[in-house]
């Protein structure tokens, strides 16, 4: 456990903000420096920080002018810039792209729910727009009563609401080859998001059509131009699969499969077919292109693993992370997210000394199975170069591996399911970069990081 946890300034913060601020200002230069910086950000002006004992009142509120009129839909503050980032970069062609990935801004988000308009996208042939009044879902194959459901039919079934993460199985894939130092949390790990999903349990549909004995698999097919389809074993359908049409309190967005998608909590996103139009039950897997040519895992001995469904345990520090600037030495609260496709996160440890020592982070409520969990960890930064990282463990006992241990097992032909520990370098000037894939000799000598994490 890190000794840094014992260096925390113990500051009582009362409801009286003036008193609290005065106490904070008196509590030490490091904390006062942090306050001064937030004041500069709020005012939007570059002014020198006040002397440690100088109490500067905030600017007057804009009482003299009316605010903006009511609108039918909310907007973000013009001072808040958070957006997705397309895998092809910022080229002018981005608005015409239909295949690829669009990463959620993990380093700018908090809590566990991803705002729906910032949820990551992975499309093979664009976002399909479907009129729900016309949409139908065929369920057939090894069933006693083949049926065609309208969306109204689907919505009549008793519903369930659950919070789960989605993650593209190619998320974090840059970890196999090694990311560049400027690769952010967003561009490295942003193909995951968590939402509250509402819909009908798959078991309800299975009872309605009468799935036959021996129908151990089902094919799910989407209505997009790529006709995305995947095979899913019956055991998962009977465990926790849902057909969902609600995301964060409103109909799911076209980007997420409106009007209906498959939800397979904890499994790779590709299996959770969007714009769902057909379900066919059969005795075995259907061996579609997406589970033979793609979404298989090449091992060092030349064999490939197939039907690798669960997304393993992962965590990362989202603040501070690559692209951030730690403003000054002193007290800061590290925070990040952890999740497991196997079950529930039971612990996250944080190292602020390159993996030489680890201390337990606090898991913030709610801690839900197969959902992002937010963690935090108090840190007093001494101003020297530091490699900071997190490692998560779940209730099946799986702990995130160091990168070199993962590469030893999987080699570098693997594309999917990268879940190794993510190291960030906080340099002496506070600039944060991605340390993964760098050589220890390229990092400041006093980071003392063990090579296995790089
Ligand atoms: Co897989």
Domain presence at residue 442: yes
Burial degree of 186 (CB within 10 A; 0-12, 13-18, 19+): buried
Taking Cα atoms as reference points, which of 321, 334, 282 lies closest to residue 422?
321
Question: Ligand 1 centre and the CA of 308: distance in Å?
Answer: 4
Q: Could you tell me if 297 and 326 lie in one domain? A: no
Half-sphere exposure of 179 (CA within 13 A, CB side): 25
Instruction: Find the helix packing angle between 17-27 and 29-43, rounded to 10°.
Output: 130
**355-378 b/e (C-beta count within 10 Å ≥ 16 → b):** beebbebebeeeebbbbbbbbbbb
Looking at residue 45, what is its pLDDT? 52
Domain presence at residue 360: yes
Q: Could you tell me if 322 and 418 lie in one domain? A: yes
Residue numbers of the domain that contains 16 = 4-38
Looking at residue 30, what is its pLDDT? 40
Q: Could you tell me if 224 and 266 lie in one domain? A: yes
Q: Could you tell me if 209 and 135 lie in one domain? A: yes
Question: Ligand 1 centre and the CA of 156: distance in Å?
Answer: 34
List phi, psi (to 5°) of 188. -95, -45
Q: Could you tell me if 269 and 399 lie in one domain? A: no
Domain presence at residue 86: no
Looking at residue 2, what is its pLDDT? 38
Question: Ligand 1 centre and the CA of 265: distance in Å?
Answer: 14
Question: Ligand 1 centre and the CA of 295: distance in Å?
Answer: 5
Question: Ligand 1 centre and the CA of 417: distance in Å?
Answer: 6
Question: Ligand 1 centre and the CA of 246: distance in Å?
Answer: 26
Burial degree of 158 (CB within 10 A; 0-12, 13-18, 19+): exposed
Domain presence at residue 288: yes
Domain presence at residue 90: no
Domain presence at residue 32: yes
**Count of domains forming the chain:** 3
pTM (predicted TM-score): 0.86
Q: Could you tell me if 12 and 159 lie in one domain? A: no
Question: Ligand 1 centre and the CA of 236: distance in Å?
Answer: 15
The domain boundary residue, chosen from 305, 339, 354: 305
Q: Could you tell me if 267 and 133 lie in one domain? A: yes
Question: Ligand 1 centre and the CA of 312: distance in Å?
Answer: 10
Question: Ligand 1 centre and the CA of 350: distance in Å?
Answer: 27
Burial degree of 34 (CB within 10 A; 0-12, 13-18, 19+): middle
Q: Could you tell me if 374 and 340 lie in one domain? A: yes
Question: Ligand 1 centre and the CA of 169: distance in Å?
Answer: 6
Q: What is the CATH number of the domain that holds 344?
A: 2.60.40.650
Question: Ligand 1 centre and the CA of 152: distance in Å?
Answer: 33
Question: Ligand 1 centre and the CA of 253: distance in Å?
Answer: 25
Question: Ligand 1 centre and the CA of 103: distance in Å?
Answer: 19
Q: Could you tell me if 362 and 434 lie in one domain? A: yes
Looking at residue 33, what is its pLDDT? 39
Question: Ligand 1 centre and the CA of 412: distance in Å?
Answer: 15
Taking Cα atoms as reference points, which of 312, 310, 372 lies closest to residue 338?
372
Question: Ligand 1 centre and the CA of 307: distance in Å?
Answer: 6
What do you get for the CA distance between the two ends of the chain, in Å? Answer: 21
Domain presence at residue 49: no
Question: Ligand 1 centre and the CA of 123: distance in Å?
Answer: 17
Question: Ligand 1 centre and the CA of 79: distance in Å?
Answer: 39
Question: Ligand 1 centre and the CA of 309: distance in Å?
Answer: 5
Looking at residue 98, what is its pLDDT? 86
Q: Could you tell me if 256 and 322 lie in one domain? A: no
Q: Could you tell me if 150 and 292 lie in one domain? A: yes
Question: Ligand 1 centre and the CA of 196: distance in Å?
Answer: 24
Looking at residue 31, what is its pLDDT? 42
Question: Ligand 1 centre and the CA of 168: distance in Å?
Answer: 9
Distance CA 420, CA 390 (A): 10
The domain boundary residue, chosen from 277, 305, 333: 305
Looking at residue 412, what is its pLDDT? 80
Residues, CB within 5 angstroms of ligand 1 (ion): 169, 268, 308, 416
Question: Ligand 1 centre and the CA of 118: distance in Å?
Answer: 24
The domain boundary residue, chosen from 305, 324, 352: 305
Q: What is the CATH number of the domain that holds 198?
A: 3.90.420.10
Residue 316 makes CB contacts below 8 A (sequence gap 6+) with: 106, 185, 188, 189, 336, 337, 390, 422
Distance CA 241, CA 232 (A): 10
Question: Ligand 1 centre and the CA of 305: distance in Å?
Answer: 8
Question: Ligand 1 centre and the CA of 167: distance in Å?
Answer: 11
Q: What are the average pLDDT values for consecutive 10-residue runs of the chain, which has 454 residues?
A: 37 38 40 39 56 80 88 94 84 71 96 98 94 98 98 98 98 95 97 98 98 98 96 98 98 98 98 98 96 90 92 98 98 98 98 96 98 98 97 98 95 91 98 96 88 95
Domain presence at residue 319: yes
Question: Ligand 1 centre and the CA of 369: distance in Å?
Answer: 20
DSSP collapsed to 3 states, the chain: CCHHHHHCCCCCCCCCHHHHHHHHHHHCHHHHHHHHHHHHHHHCCCCCCCCCCCCCCCCCCCCCCCCCCCCCCCCCCCCCCCCCEECCCCCHHHHHCCCEEEECCHHHCCCCCCCHHHCCEEECCCCCCCCCCCCEEEEEECECCCEEEEHHHHHHCCCEEEEEEEECCCCCCHHHHCCCCCCCHHHHHCCEEEEEEEEEEHHHHHHHHCECCCCCEEEEEECCCCCCEEEEEHHHHHHCCEEEEEECCEECCHHHCCCCEEECCCECHHHCCCCEEEEEEECCCCCCHHHCCCCCEECCCCCEECCCCECCCEEEEEECCCCCECCCCEEEEEEEEEECCCCCEEEEEEECCCCCCCEECEECCCCCCCCCEEEEEEEEECCCCEEEEEEEEECCCCECCCHHHHHHHHCCCCCCCCCCCCCEEECCCCEEEECCCCCHHHCCHHHCCCHHHC
Q: Could you tell me if 340 and 207 lie in one domain? A: no
Looking at residue 94, what is its pLDDT? 60
């Amino acid at each position: 456990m890190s000794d840094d946890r014992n260096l925390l300034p113990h500051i009582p913060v009362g409801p009286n903000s003036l008193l609290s601020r005065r106490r904070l200002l008196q509590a030490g230069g490091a904390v006062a420096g942090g306050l001064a910086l937030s004041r500069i950000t709020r005012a939007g002006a570059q002014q020198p920080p006040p002397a440690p004992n100088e109490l500067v009142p905030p600017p007057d509120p804009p009482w003299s002018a009316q605010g903006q009129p009511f609108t039918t839909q909310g907007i973000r503050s013009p001072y808040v810039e958070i957006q997705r980032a397309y895998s092809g970069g910022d080229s002018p062609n981005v608005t015409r792209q239909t295949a690829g990935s669009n990463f959620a801004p993990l380093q700018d988000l908090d809590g566990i729910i991803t705002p729906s308009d910032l949820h990551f996208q992975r499309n093979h042939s664009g976002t399909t727009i479907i009129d729900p009044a016309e949409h139908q879902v065929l369920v057939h194959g090894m069933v006693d009563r083949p049926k065609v459901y309208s969306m109204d039919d689907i919505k009549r079934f008793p519903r369930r609401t659950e919070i789960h993460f989605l993650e593209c199985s190619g998320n974090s894939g840059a970890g196999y080859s090694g990311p560049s130092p400027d690769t952010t949390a967003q561009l490295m790990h942003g193909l995951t998001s968590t939402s509250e999903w509402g819909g009908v349990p798959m078991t309800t549909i299975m009872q309605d059509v009468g799935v036959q004995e021996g129908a151990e698999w089902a094919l799910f097919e989407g209505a997009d131009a790529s006709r995305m389809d995947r095979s899913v074993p019956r055991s998962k359908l009977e465990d926790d699969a849902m057909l969902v049409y609600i995301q964060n309190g409103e109909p799911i967005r076209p980007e997420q499969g409106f009007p209906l998608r498959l939800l397979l909590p904890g499994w790779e996103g590709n299996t959770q077919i969007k714009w769902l139009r057909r379900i066919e039950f059969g005795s075995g897997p259907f061996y579609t292109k997406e589970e033979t040519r793609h979404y298989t895992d090449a091992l060092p001995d030349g064999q490939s693993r197939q039907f690798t469904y669960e997304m393993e345990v992962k965590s990362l520090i989202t603040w501070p992370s690559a692209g951030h600037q730690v403003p000054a030495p002193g007290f800061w609260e590290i925070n990040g997210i952890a999740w497991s496709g196997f079950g529930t996160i039971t612990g996250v440890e944080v190292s602020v000394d390159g993996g030489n020592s680890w201390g337990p982070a606090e898991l913030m409520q709610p801690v839900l199975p197969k959902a992002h969990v937010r963690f935090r960890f108090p840190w007093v930064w001494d101003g020297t170069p530091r490699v900071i990282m997190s490692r998560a463990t779940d209730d099946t006992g799986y702990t995130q591996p160091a990168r070199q241990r993962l590469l030893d097992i999987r080699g570098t032909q693997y594309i999917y399911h990268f879940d190794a520990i993510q190291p960030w370098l906080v340099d002496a000037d506070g600039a944060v970069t991605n340390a993964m894939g760098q050589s220890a000799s390229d990092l400041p000598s006093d980071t003392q990081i063990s090579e296995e994490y790089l």
